[in-house]
A = this chain, B = another copy of it.
């Protein structure tokens, strides 16, 4: 039971959601390895922790976790069907993804502020968020 799991349980309870076996199983699957996984992959892995789990519940759980900021979609691989746990960063953060194994590293530094201010001035857009995904090959895959 690491700090990630604790904060996850807390976050869920705070918001009035229940702590269920399927949700536990989904999170365990996502936490086990530092890689992003598709709902299908999560389903298979999580069933090792909770046999009765259904794929529908994986979808529902991912939607909930995403809403709560506990997981984040990874876009770079083929399609946009993978999810990664948000490990450390509470607020603004981004992902560094290995294109071979799907390993995900989080990072918080992001030197875009003044550039975004310029962009806002130039375009007249009211900029609200941004999403940055960096792709490369992790040490193991090089």
Contacts and interface: CB of A to CB of B under 8 A. Distances in A.
Contact of A105 (B76, B115, B123): B123
Contacts of A137: 125-126, 128
Nearest to A97: B125
Interface of chain A: mostly helix, strand, loop or mixed: mixed
A138 B109 contact: no
B135 A129 contact: yes
Given A136-B126, A137-B125, A137-B126, A109 B105 contact: no
Contacts of A132: 112, 130-133
A116 B130 contact: no
Interface in A99-127: 99, 105, 107, 109-112, 114-116, 118-120, 123-127
Given A80-B75, A119-B96, A125 B105 contact: yes
Contacts of A75: 75, 80, 131
Contacts of A138: 123-125
Interface of A: 75-76, 79-80, 96, 98-99, 105, 107, 109-112, 114-116, 118-120, 123-139, 142
